[in-house]
Amino acid sequence: MLKIHFLNVGKGNCTVIKLPSERLMVVDIDNSRINDDDDVLQCPIDFLNRTYPNESIFRFILTHPDMDHMSGLYDLDKERKIHNFWDTPHEKEMDLDRMQIGGYSRNDWLAYQKLRKASSEPKVLKLFQGGERLSYWKEDGIKVLGPSNEMVRKAIETEEFNHLSYVLKIVHEGVSILLGGDATKEAWRDILAYHGADELKANVFLAPHHGSPQNIEKDVFKHIDPQFVVVSDHRGHSYDYTYYNSLAKERVYSTKHFGNVHIEVSATKKKIYTEKGS
């Protein structure tokens, strides 16, 4: 069975995935607002300890080097063994003395620097479009739709690191889940040009940029044609979901309204359910 958990972490992202191979995979992590929201938000470490206790992380994927996608990495590294760490090539710098202003911890950035420079345990991988055809992660039904070398180059030149965000597709028993990271409009057009419209089609779409309407590429997203759209959003934001409501054939699930959103897929079961609401 494939189990995917979109956690209600607020303004960031954290997706926990239990693969049919029994490997545990985490895409991004954020606990930067856990103490600011009256115990409404989900601490990723607590969720892992409750749901998958004592399991190592076979694969951690950092979609791109923004703090709302890596806060909590220090604690995760302390508590769980990480075997494989997916990163992107860049030399982004952070002002460690000013990170606290944004509600972030320097320990998480320093943990990231340590992990991405590891020679082993974890094994560090930097992957690009099309790489899955040569490598073992295709056994887990994972396809790397982006970034391309061109988007990485553009990100480094412009220091707009969302250009190099991973966009991943996971397929099991005929069900496709598309994880949008924070890919830019240019990155989505690059993905469409490389992969074609058919590869974009997915049953579930994790909207990029927490559902921000400024980051919607309609000419690309129309090919996704999802049944469900998941938005990792937080209280206080009032994004207009009109477009995503029209894109989703069945429903939009925002974590700020529904809490954690869960998907289970097997040969006999295809289910999406939420922590609260219906």
pLDDT at 36: 63
pLDDT at 98: 86
pLDDT at 49 over 70: yes
Confidence of residue 135 (pLDDT cuts 50, 70, 90): low
CATH of the domain at 36: 3.60.15.10
pLDDT at 253 over 80: yes
What's the pTM?
Answer: 0.95
Strands 82-87 and 57-61 turn out to be parallel
Q: Rounded distance, CA 18 to CA 26, Å?
A: 9
pLDDT at 28: 98
pLDDT at 136 over 70: no
pLDDT at 39: 67
Q: What is the pLDDT of residues 209-231, one digit of tens each?
A: 988 888 899 999 999 999 999 99
Confidence of residue 38 (pLDDT cuts 50, 70, 90): low
Query: How does the average pLDDT of the chain come out, rounded?
Result: 93
Segment holding 177, helix H or strand E = strand 175-179
Nearest CA-CA partner of 274 in 265, 34, 256, 10 = 256
Q: What is the pLDDT of residues 59-117, one digit of tens each?
A: 999 999 999 999 999 999 999 999 999 999 999 999 988 888 778 999 999 999 999 99
Nearest CA-CA partner of 12 in 212, 221, 209 = 209
- CA angle, 247 then 263 then 197, to 5°: 40
Structural domain tally of the chain?
1
pLDDT at 132 over 90: no
pLDDT at 243: 94
Q: Rounded distance, CA 146 to CA 268, Å?
A: 31
pLDDT at 134 over 60: no
- Mean pLDDT of the region 22-44: 87
- Mean pLDDT of the region 265-271: 96
Residue range of the domain that includes 206: 2-274
Q: Which residues contact 246 (CB under 8 A, 6 or more apart)?
A: none
Specify whether the CB–CB gap between 162 and 171 falls below 8 A.
no
